[in-house]
Amino acid sequence: MKALRQFLRYLRVEREMPVSATGKSASPVDDLIERYVHYLRSERGLTKNSVLVYAPCVREFLTYRLAKMGNLALQTLEAETIQAFLLERIAHRSSEPARLISVAIRSMLRFLFLRSETPRDLSPVVPRVRTYRQSGVPAVLSPQEAESVLSATDLTAKRGRRDYAILLLLARLGLRAGEIVSLELSDVQWRTGEILVRGKGCQLDHVPLLADVGEALALYLREDRGTSISRRFFLRLMPPRTGLTGPCSIGHIVRLALARAGVRPQHRCVAHLFRHSLATRMIRHGASMAEIAEVLRHRSQSTTAIYAKVSFDALRTVAQPWPVSGGAQ
């Protein structure tokens, strides 16, 4: 039953299908979630990945409300109920998951007010979770570790050739996991030597098709991809032969590759390790922030500023001496 519920949730969120064959919702929660997802897609223009983050958080809140009251009773929804739910759910979470929950609930409350489900806009009562940008140093792989991960991939196996092409896109071009999943056959432009990347916010970018990357992609196409109605470049190994399920599948591939190479990641989002490592190598070889931002396709150079911390040699030249007894040393 759990697997069936997850499958139905996938159909509702990803394929925008009704909850039942008759079009009638199984519960008030399902009906509201369906309308909320449609609002996120059609009016807010959120990407599929964002919807997959928001919808479960909202479902959790509505289920909590239904269990407490016996019905949604949105007309009598109060700030105390919202804040009690948030305090209960984020008590033992780190800052980023807690922030995402608060953002999703705030979005839902605005939707309810716009649809006249609540008499007033309750979104301002949701407390903002304080997060600190650039509070840490990016976790990276050393050049030796990155190369060991690539060399540990078995190119004699079908899985290995597919995974090797994916790892090269991460390591050489710094692509995001979601960008690799959404890559289509027509996006690899062999004649011009470019790859069309579908980035965040429906942004389209052209990146160069490096020689070793192109060879790995061509080998996968020629030997292993096979025929499929799917236009996605990378397919599942097991039937159905469709595109990879999402960014989490890229993370799974990277975790297996790191384990084969004996590398223990210090970062939860392992696919991003290669992106961080590429930027780190560039800055240590003298690249400017503008150049790194262009390669990583950042919209704002403030996003790239965190990589200034990894240039330890440059930071030592501006570090102030530590004051000690008897004078600074």
pLDDT tens track for 154-165: 999 999 999 999
Percent of the chain with pLDDT over 70: 83
Is 200 marked active-site? yes
Query: Out of 57-71, 144-158, 287-301, which region has the weakest mean confidence (pLDDT)?
Result: 287-301
With a CB cutoff of 8 Å and minimum separation 6, the contacts of 302 are none
Is 92 marked active-site? no
Residue in 36, 164, 220, 307 annotated catalytic: 307
pLDDT of 188 above 90: yes
Residue in 232, 272, 276, 297 annotated catalytic: 272
- pLDDT 10s digits, 70-115: 888 899 999 999 999 998 888 878 787 888 999 999 999 999 999 9
Residue in 65, 89, 275, 276 annotated catalytic: 275
Contact call for residues 195 and 187 (beta carbons, < 8 A): yes
Is 285 marked active-site? no
Residue in 41, 200, 236, 281 annotated catalytic: 200
pLDDT of 251 above 80: yes
Angle (deg, nearest 10), helices 28-42 and 48-69: 150
- pLDDT 10s digits, 277-317: 898 888 888 888 888 888 888 887 777 777 766 666 656 66
Is 176 marked active-site? yes
Q: Which residue has the tokens 């008499």?
A: 119
Give the mean pLDDT of the chain.
Answer: 85
pLDDT at 289: 82
Q: How far apart are the C-alpha atoms of 310 and 67, rounded to whole Å?
A: 49
Is 307 marked active-site? yes
pLDDT at 97: 85
Q: At residue 206, what are phi and psi to the nearest 5 degrees?
A: -110, 125
Query: Out of 7-21, 195-209, 232-246, 298-312, which region has the weakest mean confidence (pLDDT)?
Result: 7-21
* CA 49-209-278 angle, 5° bins: 65
What domains sit in the chain, N to C, each tagged with a CATH number? Answer: 2-125 (no CATH), 143-311 (1.10.443.10)
Residue in 176, 225, 232, 297 annotated catalytic: 176
pLDDT at 245: 85
Is 41 marked active-site? no
pTM comes to 0.69
